[in-house]
A and B are shown apart, each in its own frame.
Chain A
Amino acid sequence: MFKKILIANRSEIAVRVIRAAREMGVKTVAVYSEADRESRHVAMADEAVCIGPGPSKLSYLDQEAVLSAAKITGADAIHPGYGFLSENADFSELCAKRGITFIGPPPEASRKLGFKSAGKAVATAANVPCVPGTKGDISAVDPAEIAAIGYPVLIKASAGGGGKGMRIVRTPAELKPQLEAAATEAKAAFGDGSVFIEKLLERPRHVEIQIIADKHGNVVAFPERDCTVQRRHQKLVEESPSPALTPEIRRDMQAAAIRLAKAANYSSVGTVEFLFQDGRFYFIEVNARLQVEHPVTELVAGVDLMELMIRVAAGEKLPFDQTRASEIRCHAIEHRINAEDPDNNFMPCPGRIENIELPGGAGVRVDTHVYAGYTIPSYYDSMIAKLIISAGDRPSALRRSLRALGELKISGVKTTAGMHAKVVAHPVFMAGDFDTHFIEKTGLLDKKEPANV
């Protein structure tokens, strides 16, 4: 086991690593920027090193500063948390060169899976279903090929992003003109007119499988997390198990995730993300890190993913098999509480937290780095707390969520807590039958009326 772990991160995830390490009897080093002097992780760690000014490029993303802090404190491992350097294969390689264990996947595996296109190739080779589409870029249209994919389809620019050059085609007759228009638009926007075609999933759910692999070839997959409730591709609410999956689909998804991990020689924790519609699932990408929403799985499966992640990084074998990993012990929901103004287009609201009262009681876990009197710096992500609720079944968990959200009181900054109550109390959410367009379709965040719960 490691002697001392340096946490190359901030906020609640740094606190999470420190807690796990302390329980394991491992010393911790916090690194922080000048703007984070007051953050709880700095006070909690055994040692703390200031590594730079507020902007993350000059502190949390400064690989040399992080590695120098590890050197002067004698840390033998670095935990990257999520974001920042967590999926940077070059950084994990550099750690290895300096004789420091990077607590995360090996660089070769994250390179294989980290990028969407590369990940898709590995998935296809491992017989993991992907969203059907053309093999690569297309110039000429083969109507039979498109018909085999099945309408409606989506034309996407290969160099694209931000929706530019994207076009929906619903009938074969529209295909040719839309393809030409998309190519012209892509050429104008990106200087590259190449496009490809994918099946359009109009009512997908976002369902993901948490895996953990040790360095001895053992991989297990946990029950899924359903992260369908999103706003502009940002996950808002995550729950497990998904209200939409059958045990058979769950098993198939877990098997697919394990095949993918083995094909990439993966080790550490990771998440295989899928779109799910009409009883079928399609691989999107792998997140080669411990995600924000990992506590949902910790509660449902009754495991400590952070501790397991550290143990497998230190070379230990997984302490259980797939049968144990498949157990569903409760229903869990996570609410990400952000310091944002829901009445002003979710603009971040940095500032001083005058007072904060956290919810408690049975089945309520709060992961946070903030406290009364803490000033939220403007440099970083606006998430200030995660509320993770667990109960015997989904209806009880939803009731408990509303109760806990009601207990949460924060003054000084605006937060998204009220919005979460609106989501949980919505009849469509309660019924469990919704897709990734839930927020837009229900118009839940359009009105400014206060949450009536």
Chain B
Amino acid sequence: MHSSAVKAVADWMKTADLAEVVYRKDGKGFSLTALGANDPATLSAPAMPSGRFTPVVSDGVGIFQWSEPGKARKTEEGVEIAAGQPIGYIVGGSGVSKPVLAPQGGRVAKLFIDAGQAVEYGQPLLLLESR
């Protein structure tokens, strides 16, 4: 690999908030470690502080809806959700809908799903931000 290509990766690395880049192809490659990467003082804060956001995931398979038919939608970005409150419903193959309950209270930070979308087990539906 040409050194100019490595320099390009090194330059990109400075902008990407990465501590280490390892590249391997056909038995060759290189490894770049940012200066002071192991020094906590020089590390920037992680993009997502641990523990602040909790994903709410689907516990079943079916079609996702925000509310039961004829009821108003309550889950929007920015609204507060209480622990145990239904954030939406999953309609299974039998037509029976099952609520998805918030595992904890918090503010809805981000939605990953639209009404009428098919969801599988374990699929993230939204992100709750704890206070």
Contact = CB atoms under 8 A, between A and B. Distances in A.
Interface of A: 34, 49-53, 59, 64-65, 67-73, 98
A68 B92 CA distance: 5
A69 B122 contact: no
Contacts of A49: 61, 120-121
Interface residues of B, number: 13
B121 A72 contact: no
A68 B122 contact: no
Contacts of A69: 61, 93, 120
B94 A52 contact: no
Given A51-B61, A65-B60, A65-B61, A71 B93 contact: yes
B97 to A, nearest CB: 11
Nearest to B63: A72
A-B residue pairs, 9 tightest by C-beta: A72-B118, A71-B93, A68-B93, A67-B93, A68-B61, A68-B92, A50-B120, A50-B121, A68-B62
A59 B121 CA distance: 9
Contacts of B93: 64, 67-72, 98
A163 B60 CA distance: 41
Contacts of A53: 121
30 contacts: A34-B122, A49-B61, A49-B120, A50-B121, A50-B123, A51-B120, A52-B121, A53-B121, A59-B121, A65-B60, A65-B61, A67-B93, A67-B94, A68-B60, A68-B61, A68-B62, A68-B92, A69-B61, A69-B93, A69-B120, A70-B93, A71-B62, A71-B93, A72-B61, A72-B62, A72-B63, A72-B93, A73-B118, A98-B93, A98-B94
Contacts, number: 48
Nearest to A64: B92
A52 B119 CA distance: 12
Contact of B121 (A65, A67, A70, A71): A65
Interface in B101-118: 118
Main secondary structure of the interface of A (DSSP, over half): helix
Contacts of A68: 60-62, 92-94
Contacts of B60: 65, 68
Contacts of A98: 93-94
B33 to A, nearest CB: 26
A98 B92 CA distance: 12
B64 to A, nearest CB: 10
Given A49-B121, A72-B62, A72-B93, 15 more contacts: A50-B61, A50-B121, A50-B123, A65-B121, A67-B93, A68-B60, A68-B92, A68-B93, A70-B93, A71-B62, A72-B61, A72-B63, A72-B118, A98-B93, A98-B94
A64 B122 CA distance: 16
A64 B121 CA distance: 12
A51 B60 CA distance: 7
Nearest to B62: A68
Contacts of B120: 49-51, 69
Interface in B78-106: 92-94
A295 to B, nearest CB: 31
A410 B119 CA distance: 37
A98 B122 CA distance: 25
Contacts of B62: 68, 71-72
A52 B57 CA distance: 12
A147 B120 CA distance: 62
Contacts of A64: 92-94
B116 to A, nearest CB: 11
Contacts of A72: 61-63, 93, 118-119
B92 A50 contact: no
A37 to B, nearest CB: 10
A73 B61 CA distance: 11
A68 B97 CA distance: 11
Nearest to A67: B93
A64 to B, nearest CB: 6
Nearest to A52: B121
Nearest to B119: A72
A52 B60 CA distance: 7
A26 to B, nearest CB: 20
A296 to B, nearest CB: 36
B121 A51 contact: yes
A381 B60 CA distance: 24
| A34, A53, A68 — most chain B CB neighbours (10 Å) | A68
Contact of B122 (A50, A71, A73): A50
A34 B122 CA distance: 8
A368 B93 CA distance: 31
A34 B121 CA distance: 8
A50 B60 CA distance: 9
A69 to B, nearest CB: 5
